[in-house]
Amino acid sequence: MSLPRRAPWLIFAVAGGVFLFVALVFSFRQAEVKTSVSSSPVANPTAEGQRDVSQAASSPLPAVEAIPKVDTLAEPPAQKPPVIPPDQKALQAHKMMVADLEARLRATTKAYYAGAFRQLRLPQDLQERVIDILTRQQKEWEQQAFENATSGRAPTIPSPAEARAQQAQQNQELRSLLGDSGFAQFDQYRATIPDRMMIDAMNQQGANLSDNQSQQLLQVLTDARRQITGQTSTAQNLDSMSPDQTVTMLQQQQVLLQQVVGDRVRNILTAEQVRTLQTVFSQQGIGPKAK
């Protein structure tokens, strides 16, 4: 930690004060010794006193016992700063922020799944129930993150097994709501959501994809993603991987996806649209940064 500009002067002042204090103590001890010597019989300038002094000087000195070594006390371990629970004002602000995030999360989810809702011809109340199921886990994660932050606990990341268990529970709820046939259509549509998000990001950055281009690009992205993830990962080896190994595998998948898609869209997109696609890949951390 860097010291402020006045810190050196403060150090000199403190050091000077300590030196002055030691000097005063030393002077006081000298004066105390002189007083005790002048008042003792040895200081009396008589022959008897001088003889006692000479005898004392000629007598051997007693052995000085070794001073036992005192172990220095170890410094106490550094204590973590106390966790201050949020006050009522902070809790109210967090509550408002969560409500805003939840509203935006529901609106975004509804927009991305609008095509699935149209295919399944779901009424409004069933759409809202599907959105409840899809957004529940993310809301629970947000609440858990807030509780960890306010209690000083480290954030926790679900293991692959836990993530699959959560996904299986979500699938069961959706199947119960939509039926087997409806769930199969919905699940097929859900697998395309990451690719639909990429197409949406491209248009937001000025790609201006036509409907035909969007459909072809979506098919390319979906097929390439399914092919790559099916070849390079299985549920079994994910369980045996460490978090770092899992991240490395996902990064390799993403780089490979960018290469495969880049080769397949040359006849679908213009050169400028291809550069926009590469930029979106880069922004999402899927591959090397676009130049």
pLDDT in tens, 56-83: 444 454 444 454 555 555 566 666 666 6
pLDDT at 144: 81
Cα separation of the two ends of the chain: 38
* Backbone angle region of 208, left / alpha / beta, with phi > 0 → left and psi within -120 to 50 → alpha: left
Q: Is the pLDDT of residue 181 over 80?
A: yes
pLDDT band at 15 (very low <50, low <70, confident <90, very high): very low
**Mean pLDDT on 16-36:** 40
d(CA 140, CA 147) in angstroms, rounded, equals 11
d(CA 149, CA 86) in angstroms, rounded, equals 10
pTM of the model as a whole: 0.60
Q: Which residues of the chain form beta strands (DSSP E)?
A: none
pLDDT at 249: 81
Most confident segment among 37-41, 99-103, 232-236? 99-103
pLDDT at 93: 85
d(CA 269, CA 199) in angstroms, rounded, equals 12
At 260, phi and psi to the nearest 5?
A: -65, -45
**Mean pLDDT on 169-189:** 96
How many Cα neighbours within 13 Å face the side chain of 14? 6
pLDDT at 220: 96
pLDDT at 23: 40
With the C-alpha atoms ordered 173, 174, 179, 184, is the resulting torsion angle positive or negative? negative
Span of 7-16, 30-39, 191-200, 240-249 with lowest mean pLDDT: 7-16
pLDDT band at 248 (very low <50, low <70, confident <90, very high): confident
pLDDT at 79: 65
Encode burial over 140-157: b for 16+ CB neighbours within 10 A, e otherwise.
Answer: eebeeeeeeeeeeeeeee
Span of 26-40, 68-82, 213-227 with lowest mean pLDDT: 26-40
| Placement of tokens 């003792």 in the chain | 40
Q: Is the pLDDT of residue 16 over 70?
A: no
Most confident segment among 4-13, 138-147, 166-175, 253-262? 166-175
